[in-house]
Structure formats: structure tokens, C-alpha cells
Structure 1
Amino acid sequence: MSSWPKYSIQEVYDKIKGDKQKVIWDKMVWNRLSVPKHRFISWMAVQSKLQTTAKLAQVGISTSDRCLICHNGAEDHVHLFFQCEYSERCLNDLKRWLGITSSSSTLQELIRWLKRTKQSKFVKQVFYAGLAALLYYVWQARNSSYWNALIPSVEATGKQIRAIVKIRIGTVTTTED
């Protein structure tokens, strides 16, 4: 009997699972306080999978790679989240509202900062919900710019984000009682 190999369920599981890269964005994307459609757009954004004009221009679908909101740079994920003047102003509005002190100016840096910040789990979830809403509404503003030639004001976007985050927190916390 001692010549039989040692069997471990954990080892079998690890072999099946394979080597997966650790991600820093999981808590932000799959946060229970975030609205499901915000989660989906966040998931796409953190992986740079949204169909920006820069991506569309690379494959010949778009004639221009310019940002549809500010027209100042190539619309890739780094520009759209948060080098574009509009999204940067929206981010600063969100930071002021939530009391986020980070000077991070890219999505990845901001997620890293939020993950490391010394806040309670609930406060971090509120931060994540706000960021997910911001990604969603920036993407929505970008699409509105293309389809309707209309970009909402930073103030209107900020007001919408604050309202939806407050409603979502109220909904999730009251259903848990």
C-alpha cells in the first residue's frame, strides 16, 4: 500500500484550473453594490475589450481613431479612462464626492489604490460602485456623442452617478436586513 502515489484533490483541482494570472480588478468589477450593467461595462473596460474608435480604426471599420468626446487624442482605453478631459473631470467630481484622495489618473492605478486603501469593506464597495458607474456613464456619453451628437455635462453625469449609487446601496442593504 505504501507504494501507491499520494492523491490530493487540491493538486487535481490546481492542474485542471491551470496557471491563471491574478487580477487586481475582481473586487471592483464583481462588487455587489454595483449595478449589473455597470459591472459588465467595467469588466470590458478593465480588460480593454470595449470597441473604441482606435480599435475600430485598426481593423478598418472607422475612418478616424479620434476620441468621440473631446476629439483631442486617439480613443483607446487609456485615453477614454481618464486622459480625456471629460472623463477626467467626471473622475475628479467622483473623487470629491466620495472623498478619494488618490492622485491616480489611470483606471489601473486607481483600482490598485482602491484595493490598498485602509478603508472598511463597505466603504471600498461604495468606492468600487462609484467607479463602475463612472465607467458606465463615460462609455454611455461616448456612445451618445456618436449616435446622438450629444454629450451630457459633467454635472449631469455626476448627479446621475450619485443618484444611482445611493439607490443601489439602499436597495442592497435593505434586502439584506
Structure 2
Amino acid sequence: MAYEFMRVEVRDCATTHFWFDNWMGVGKLIDATGAIGTTYLGLTRRALVCNAVSGDGWSMRNKRSRRFQLLYNQILAEQVPSVDRGSDLVLWKQGEDDYKDSFSTTNTWEQIRSKKPKVDWCRVVWFSQNIPRYAFITWLAIQNRLSTGDRMRSWGITQGCGLCGEQDETRDHLFFACPYSFTVWEGLVRGLFGRRTNPDWSITLNEIKRSRTSQLDTILLKLIFQAVIYHIWRERNSRRHQGKWTTTDQIHKVIDRSMRNRIVSLKYGPQHKHAGLLQRWFQLTS
């Protein structure tokens, strides 16, 4: 795969392999001619490009052969190497018909990755102030990839909601139709949503995606959303696997502490918004 990105600019031709280096922009010549090409052109498999040069021109056997006439013509069209031009230069593909003598991770990734339409919820998950582990769980939740009860049923395992006892545990129930999780969620976003706080997952997600006048409120709402999802999921797993229970008031305190810690940490980042965020957070939680 890497070979497809490499090309050699022949200068003195002292280090470039005739058959295996992409020096003409058509890939490996051995692939075009097959093993018999080495016999027709009189160049061994280990030959360098300089072995095909004599004096001031190209020198190869069977120039009149019809079998590889096109290849002959292509080689003759190439500039004859010369020691005056310096050493051979290995180039890396930066884009369509764009090769440079440097490597770019960004350009390489853009060429090999599978591109899909941009999802409208990306800014809810990925933003500069997020907490990575919270963002990851939120990313899984939005794609409905958490191992909730409805997904476990496909594996032959039946389980209800460990937070309220509901028989059918789904992503949409857990966030935030479950009375326990909705109590946590509603208590934290009351100052931002007011009476518009809704237990429906789709409505809630659409509301968070909506742009707001206050940038501080936008950041805080996304942080709260991710923090609640993370801690509700953690509480659900704690009850199921360890038998430990936490009240909604206790989770409120844990989330409040994590929010303050994250806001204060922004003081040392590139965006010095911690003062305004912290003040706004105090207003919402007072």
C-alpha cells in the first residue's frame, strides 16, 4: 500500500532499481513486462537505472522488438540521467499527481481513509473542551453501540433496567426516559432548558445540536450531556456488576465536581474561558 505513494525522481540514477522502483510513474516495470522483460531488455532483475544508460543516451537490447515497443518509447522519452543533477530523490504522494520530497500524515490519511458524509451530531461529541472518556461513551451512545438490554437480547441475554426496574432496557430508556436518569439530567439542565426539558432521546439530542446565542451555555450544555451519559452508564454498570448504589444527589455532586475540575483545567489550555464558564456554572447550580 505504501508503494503506491512512492515515486523516484531519477537524477544520477545510481540508487534507483530499474524494475522495482516507480521511476516512470507507471509502477513496477517488472509487472508490466513480466519476468521475460529482463531477457528482452538485457537487464537483470537487480539492475539499476544507470545500467540502462550508456554515455549520453539510453542503451537497451532489442529496441526494435514489437513486444515492448510502447515501453521502449516511454523510456526514451524520459530525461537521460546525469551525475550533474545530483542524487536520486524519493518522493511521496501528497495528492492527485502531486509528489513532494516530504511526508505528510494529513495528506496521506485523506487519501487512504474511507470518507462518509459528515454527521450532524459531531460537534455534540467532539469539541475542544470535552473530557475524552466522556466523549467516547457519548459517541457510543449516539450510535447506539452501548451494551444495553435490547442489544444483549440478540446475544440470548435478558436484562432490564438496573436503575428503575423497567423490563425493557434500551438506549432511549436509559437516556433519559428512566425516572432515575431523568432526575439527574433535569436537575442539571433546568437552568438551561427550563420547562423544555424532555425525557425523549431524539428531542434532547436535537435540542443540544441547536445553535445558541451564548457560547458559554453551548459548551456547558454539551459538557453536562456527556457527563450525565458517562455517570449514568457507570452507575448502571456498578449496580449490575458490583451491587453498589448511588443516589441522584450523590451523582449530582460527582458531576458538579467533574464539571468544575474540567472548567478550571481550561485555564491552562489555549482557550482562556474558564472564568466565564465557572461563573455561569455557579449560576446554574446555585
Say which is worse superposed, 33-42 or 116-125, in terms of deviation. 116-125
Aligned to 1:136: 230
Compute the displacement of 1:166 (Å). Answer: 1.5
Compute the displacement of 1:79 (Å). Answer: 0.7
Distance 1:161 1:142 in 2: 15
What is the number of equivalent residue pairs in this alignment? 162
- Structure 2 counterpart of 1:138, which letter? I
Distance 1:25 1:162 in 2: 24
Compute the displacement of 1:173 (Å). Answer: 3.5
**Which structure shows the bigger proportion of residues in helix conformation?**
1
Aligned to 1:4: none
Is 1:154 aligned with 2:248? yes
SS in 1 for 2:240: helix
Compute the displacement of 1:56 (Å). Answer: 1.1
- Structure 2 counterpart of 1:68, which letter? G
Aligned to 1:3: none
- Structure 2 counterpart of 1:110, which letter? T
Is 1:66 aligned with 2:166? no
Aligned Cα RMSD in Å? 2.3
Distance 1:163 1:28 in 2: 21
Name stretches of at least 5 consecutive residues in structure 2 with no aligned partner. Answer: 1-95, 97-109, 273-286
**Between Structure 1 and Structure 2, whose CA radius of gyration is higher?**
2
Is 1:103 aligned with 2:197? yes
**Which structure shows the bigger proportion of residues in strand conformation?**
2
Aligned to 2:171: 77
Distance 2:120 2:225 in 1: 14
Say which is worse superposed, 158-167 or 65-74, in terms of deviation. 65-74
SS in 2 for 1:119: coil
- Structure 2 counterpart of 1:175, which letter? G
- Structure 2 counterpart of 1:87, which letter? S
Aligned to 1:30: 126
SS in 2 for 1:99: helix
- Structure 1 counterpart of 2:139, which letter? W
- Structure 2 counterpart of 1:88, which letter? F
Distance 1:124 1:133 in 2: 14
Name stretches of at least 5 consecutive residues in structure 1 with no aligned partner. Answer: 1-6, 8-12
Is 1:57 aligned with 2:156? no
Aligned to 2:142: 46
Q: TM-score, normalised by structure 2?
A: 0.52
